Structure 1
Amino acid sequence: MALHKLLVDDFYDDSYKLIAIHCSIEDYRLAYILNKNLDLKLKRKEEDIDLKYLESSYSLFEWKNETEYVTWNLISNVCKKEETSLYSSGTLFEDTNKVLKTFHLISEYKTVDYFIKISEEMQNINERVILSKLQNVPQIITSYIVDPMKLRSKNHLIF
């Protein structure tokens, strides 16, 4: 009797382009600016990306261009959460302090504020043209292309 073995190392193999954006504006303002400058129709999704059982959540904007078979996503890379921190000072009463914790969706790029993920069936999007348009936006500090295959936490971009 023959033994058949299936190796499933990399089950999810979706080709997409990833652009990192550094800017200090809110996510809804950046979505508006991208819609205006790149001729997109990004809308906020009802559910955010939640990691580690609601420890951190990241905003997600999406537009599915049905005519060109392209899905555009704007993903926040930074989540700031205020938590109460308990510590004992050696007195009868415990002190509580508010601590601001910062989480990152892609931990290798902690200085990046947002990512644009472009998933396409046909390879007809030129990311160099998109980069040149992004660098003409005064609110965006810088933007550059990221190779998603070199990311350790690339599974966080599956949604």
Structure 2
Amino acid sequence: MLTTHRISADFYDDSFKLIAIHSNLEDYAITYAINSGCGLYLKRMERDLCLEANAKFSVFDWDDELNDLYWTLIANKCVVEEVIPSDGLFGNNTSERMDHLIKERKEVDYFLKVDAADDDLIEEQVRRINKIARVMTAYPIDTQTLKSKRNLIF
């Protein structure tokens, strides 16, 4: 007999603040710009965030022990390659599609997640991020309105 274990929704700690960032910079370049402009020390995590077999989202994090904050920069977009089997002359074809971490916010390129932060700190960081060249805009997001916010809890 199989046993199914479920984790209660009460178990998830979703007390984090979220900043949406629109930028066409690569993940390493936006991380460098945020580190330089905001005084953070984000580093690439050893493993990417995998939701599906091929969908891997880059993640950068920093544990600010001095201020008791945990910062995470997460890419909202990733390119997924799919093999399309074919019996034709050219064999199998590959197709690329864009996948999103937060599907209801497809226009956002990156999310800066801050655990245990107050609203004043978030507003200050939003002002600093908006001053970075090649960042179109950055703004705070109310996490309670997101349907797929569990993708941000890892």
TM-score by length of 2: 0.87
RMSD: 1.8
Aligned residue number for residue 4 of structure 2: none
| Unpaired segments ≥5 residues, structure 2 | 1-7
Deviations 1:69-109 (A, max 9, x none): 000000000010222223466xxx46432211111000000
Query: Any conservation in 2 of the 1:80–1:101 contact (CA below 8 Å)?
Result: yes
Task: Provide the C-alpha distance between the structure 2 equivalents of 1:40 and 1:50, rounded to a whole number of angstroms.
Answer: 25
- Runs of 4+ residues over 6 Å off in structure 1: none
Match of residue 121, structure 2, among 102, 105, 126:
126
Q: Does 1:43 align with 2:43?
A: yes
Please tell me whether Structure 1 or Structure 2 has the larger radius of gyration of its CA atoms. Answer: 1
Aligned residue number for residue 5 of structure 1: none
Q: Does 1:85 align with 2:84?
A: yes
Q: Does 1:12 align with 2:12?
A: yes
More helix by share: 2
Cα distance, 1:144 vs structure 2: 1.1
Identity of aligned residues (%): 37
Paired AA for residue 83 in structure 1: E
Paired AA for residue 11 in structure 2: F
1:128 alignment partner, SS class: helix
Counterparts in 2 of 1:71-110, with a 5 A limit?
A: 71-87=70-86, 93=89, 95-110=91-106
Cα distance, 1:147 vs structure 2: 0.9
Paired AA for residue 155 in structure 1: R
2:107 alignment partner, SS class: coil
Cα distance, 1:131 vs structure 2: 1.1
Cα distance, 1:124 vs structure 2: 7.2
Query: May I ask how many residue pairs the two structures share in their alignment?
Result: 147
1:82 alignment partner, SS class: strand
Cα distance, 1:123 vs structure 2: 3.4
TM-score by length of 1: 0.85
Query: Any conservation in 2 of the 1:86–1:94 contact (CA below 8 Å)?
Result: no
Paired AA for residue 83 in structure 2: T
